[in-house]
Amino acid sequence: MLKKTFLAATFGLAALPLFAQDAAMTEDARKTASGLLTKLGGTLQEEMKKGGPEAAISVCKDVAPQLTGEASRKTGAKVTRVSLKVRNPLLGTPDAWESAALEDFEKRLAAGELPAKLEKSEVVTESGKQYFRYIKAIPTQAVCLNCHGAADKIAEPVKAKLSAEYPHDKATGYGEGQIRGGVSIKRPL
């Protein structure tokens, strides 16, 4: 018994049963994703108040990658935002696991699940290595429609700036409550 206690104290989570490890990693990932979304949302709201939707584009373009980079460095995991309809293909294109999760979110949403509750986590093997994977849905809120709504509803100055900043933009046509994308976390084990 003393040996097990020593090992648990020495190796921390590595000595916990697998389900306990998964639960702890999921909770950590949930906190990271929620913190990122809260910080990003607050910054977006501030910029909207200062300069409207046109000015707020810089939050998603510049601030969001900074915040995901900070979260990645802090956690030791790759933290990113992905979508099935990407605005910036270099930063937002999902891998196969993320695509499957986002497609599953769409089905779960259609079946009545609340968009803010949609998440997925699991341990996977990719290229012979194990990773903890987590993704939390980003529901489209009313404020998002200024830049992500139906093309005919987006103000012309916003359209012009989006076109200049994102020449390959596919991230429009959303309605409130739809899944805009997800915060994805990938941690090597």
Write the DSSP assignment of 44-110 as a string of letters: HHHHHHHHHHHHHHHIIIIIHHHHHHHHHHHHTSEEEEE-SS-S-HHHH---HHHHHHHHHHHHHHH
What is the pLDDT at residue 9? 39
What is the pLDDT at residue 3? 42
Model confidence pLDDT, tens digit, residues 6-59: 333 333 444 444 566 788 999 999 999 999 999 999 999 999 999 999 988 999
Whether pLDDT at 174 is above 50: yes
Averaged confidence pLDDT in the chain: 89
What is the pLDDT at residue 22? 81
Q: Which two tokens stand for residue 4?
A: 């097990």
Whether pLDDT at 124 is above 80: yes
Give the amino acid at 94: P
What's the rounded mean pLDDT across residues 69-93?
A: 95
Model-level pTM? 0.86
What's the rounded mean pLDDT across residues 129-148?
A: 95
Give the amino acid at 45: Q
What is the pLDDT at residue 6? 36
Q: How many CA atoms lie within 13 A of 189 on its CB side?
A: 17
Nearest 10 degrees: Cα torsion 91, 96, 102, 108: -170
Give the amino acid at 68: T
What is the pLDDT at residue 12? 42
What is the pLDDT at residue 72? 96
